[in-house]
Every structure is written in C-alpha cells, then in structure tokens.
C-alpha cells in the first residue's frame, strides 16, 4: 500500500494551490509567487521561531477552512499562521490589508534614519523595497528620531542600532547556527536595542551570517563598509573547498573589475540564504571576510537576481511575465508593476554589456 501524501487546498487572492499540511500562508503564497506574496521583514524560513514580529505580512483570512468557513476577526501574520483545507486568504485583494501594511511601513520608518545615501545596505535593503512597494509618501512624524551610537561587535561586524527594525533575526542566527550567543535584545519597547553583553566582542566562525539575515543596514560588514555601492559591484556565484565544519563553501562574490569587494552567502529570490541539499547555505567567516582573492574561488558565473532591481547588471533571467492576464485572475485588481523600466530607459540597454565594464558605467556607454 503506497502512502498517500495528503495535500490541502488554500486560495490566496483567488489563486488556489495545493500544499502540504503545516505550510504557513506565507510559504503557500511564495509557492504561487509574484504579487500574491506578502512582504516579510522578520520571518526567515531558515531560522526556527522567527517571524510574527514586524507585521508587514498581515493578511485577511476571509474563510478559516472548509470545516469552519468563518472569517478570522483580525488580520493575521501570514508567516506564522498555518493553512487549513479550504482556507481563503486575501492579500492584495483585501481592502484592509494595504492600509494596515502602509501603517506598519510607517511605524517601521518612524525611527529609521533614512540615511540610505550613506548606508551600505542601500540597493539591497528590504526596508527600501518595502517602503517603495507598500509605503506612503512623506512622514507624519514630527519628533526627533531615536538614535544610538555605532558599536563594534567583534572584529568584522559593526552594529548601527539606529537603523535596526528589531526583527530579531540576528539573535536567532546567533542562537541556532553559532555555538555561543553573546548578543541579544536589551531593554524593551521603543528603547529596546540589540547589544552584546557589556560590549563583548562576537567571536565566532559563523557570526558573519548575521549580516546576511539583517534586512536593513544595522549589521554591516566592516571589511566592506564604504568600499563600494552594491550596484557598482557584480555578483558572481563561486565556490571553494572550505574546511570549516558547517560551512557550505558556496558563496556570491561581489566584484568590481577583478577585485572581490565582498563575499556573501547565496540568496534566493526572497532575500534568504539559499539551501543546498536541504540545508541552509551558511558560510563561515573565513570565506566571508578573509578569502577575497578570485584565485581562491572557482567562479561559476553571474548570479541571477530577480528581486533587487538595482543590482544584477541587467540579469533579469528569472523575471517572467505572467502568461494569463493577472488582472482577470485578481478580479479587476491591477498588478503592481510600477513601470517597465526596459521599455522607457536606455540605461538598461547599453551597447556594451554592463558586466564587461570595470567600475561604474558612464554616459558614453549608452545609446545617445
């Protein structure tokens, strides 16, 4: 007798999908992909216990399940709510969700310094994406923003707490993939802060992964700080035979010319570390901070990036236009494509392929 794998049906924004029991609404939405997927600032599928905190992934549950079709009274955090058979979820099609989400974006930006022009995370910052996608123009906040002093936590990482949105991801990394957690959340409320215990240095082989999981520029790589803007660098998939136990050795090198400016873990379309053989591809500090010669790596080729538009040097390989009209599926709701940059701008159609240029592109590289 073959064991039958039971699946359950969930409908998100009028698109029905079969998923395994125990899947969260957010994971189901990610399987559908595209605009149906709620944004997530604190949830990280590779970190156990993460999620539920930022409230950007709030969705409306219009029917709880086939057995109990009552709607849920409040918006729920899709990352931590499991799907039920016959559940009907409204994300983009909900009337309440966009407003609540815009509210959350406003709250998240309330004490955020918006120092993007000098922030190393700019260009690959989830808060920037979130602000553009779901936020409103301007702020109604008229008071001084909360500030903190910059703090060096360990030899490789700088903490700039002012930018932190308290997603707790880095504490989960420290808890789950390093063997000793030396930092955590101190204080509470809007004066809560990430800090090490009495400025204790974080000294651990895998501490660098905290930088990768940080959705904003609160944790930055000290070997890369102010060295370059991410959109001037060219991401290349590469691997090396790393001897550190637990390190997957597969990374993304961020090059400018032949110089490696930065090494990060490989990320998927949701900005999370990719999994290899079912295991998250965390990399060790040796790979990340100390192996910055191209000769130490076997380069596989350009990294394909679909989400963060300013990087990836025009390599939108995974971006596919929907085959059926999204508008019809969404019962009249327009998909949120702000502008097809390819059709209006020559910047993305240079005569020379950007990956072949060393350094920033100049006006002479483009069509007149």
Complex with another protein: residue 52 or 335, whichever CB lies closer: 52
Residue in 31, 63, 116, 185 binding another protein, rule: CB under 8 A: 185
242, 358, 262: which is closest to 303 by C-alpha? Answer: 262
CB of 190 to another protein, least distance (A): 4
CB of 82 to another protein, least distance (A): 8
Spatial separation of the C-alpha atoms in residues 266 and 316, rounded to whole Å: 16
Helical segments of the chain, H only: 25-32, 97-110, 126-134, 169-176, 209-213, 285, 326-329, 341-344
Structure tokens at 15: 């698109």
Interacting stretch for another protein, rule CB under 8 A, among 102-110, 122-130, 201-209, 288-296?
102-110
Query: What angle in degrees, to the nearest 10, is found between the helix axes of 97-110 and 126-134?
Result: 140
Q: Is residue 168 at the binding interface for another protein, with CB under 8 A as the rule?
A: yes
CB of 104 to another protein, least distance (A): 6
Using CB under 8 A as the binding rule, the residues of this chain from 107 to 166 that contact another protein are 107-108, 110-111, 140-141, 143, 165-166
Residue pair 230/123 in contact (Cβ under 8 Å)? The answer is yes
Structure tokens at 186: 């101190």
Q: Is residue 15 at the binding interface for another protein, with CB under 8 A as the rule?
A: no
Structure tokens at 37: 């997927």
Complex with another protein: residue 51 or 312, whichever CB lies closer: 51
Residue pair 141/170 in contact (Cβ under 8 Å)? The answer is no
Residue in 20, 114, 192, 352 binding another protein, rule: CB under 8 A: 192
Residues contributing to the site for another protein (CB under 8 A): 51-56, 58, 73-75, 77, 80, 99-100, 103-104, 106-108, 110-111, 140-141, 143, 165-166, 168, 184-185, 187-192
């Amino acid at each position: 007798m073959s064991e039958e794998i039971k699946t359950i049906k969930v409908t998100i924004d009028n698109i029905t999908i079969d998923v395994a029991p125990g899947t969260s609404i957010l994971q189901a939405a990610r399987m559908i992909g595209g605009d149906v997927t709620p944004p997530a600032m604190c949830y990280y599928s590779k970190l156990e216990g993460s999620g539920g905190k930022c409230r950007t992934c709030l969705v409306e549950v219009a029917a709880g399940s086939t057995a109990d079709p009552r709607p849920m009274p409040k918006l729920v955090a899709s990352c931590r709510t499991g799907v039920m058979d016959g559940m009907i979820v409204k994300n983009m099609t909900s009337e309440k969700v966009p407003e609540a989400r815009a509210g959350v974006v406003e709250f998240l930006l309330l004490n955020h310094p918006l120092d993007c022009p000098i922030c190393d995370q700019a260009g690959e910052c989830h808060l920037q994406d979130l602000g553009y996608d779901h936020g409103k123009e301007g702020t109604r906040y008229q008071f001084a923003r909360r500030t903190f002093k910059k703090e060096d936590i360990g030899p490789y990482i700088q903490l700039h707490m002012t930018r932190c949105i308290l997603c707790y991801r880095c504490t989960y990394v420290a808890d789950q993939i390093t063997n000793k957690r030396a930092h955590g959340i101190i204080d509470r409320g809007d004066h809560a802060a990430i800090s090490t215990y009495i400025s204790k240095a974080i000294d651990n082989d895998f501490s660098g992964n905290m930088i990768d999981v940080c959705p904003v520029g609160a944790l930055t790589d000290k070997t890369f700080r102010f060295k370059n803007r991410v959109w001037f660098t060219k991401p290349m998939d590469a691997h090396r035979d790393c001897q550190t136990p637990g390190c997957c050795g597969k990374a993304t090198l961020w090059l400018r010319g032949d110089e490696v400016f930065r090494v990060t873990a490989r990320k998927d379309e949701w900005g999370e570390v990719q999994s290899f053989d079912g295991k998250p591809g965390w990399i060790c500090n040796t790979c990340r901070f100390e192996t910055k010669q191209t000769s130490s790596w076997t380069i596989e080729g350009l990294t394909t990036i679909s989400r963060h538009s300013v990087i990836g040097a025009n390599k939108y390989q995974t971006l596919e236009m929907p085959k059926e009209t999204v508008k019809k599926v969404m019962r009249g709701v327009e998909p949120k494509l702000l502008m097809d940059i390819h059709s209006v701008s020559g910047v993305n159609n240079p005569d020379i392929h950007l990956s072949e240029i060393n350094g920033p592109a100049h006006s002479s590289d483009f069509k007149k």
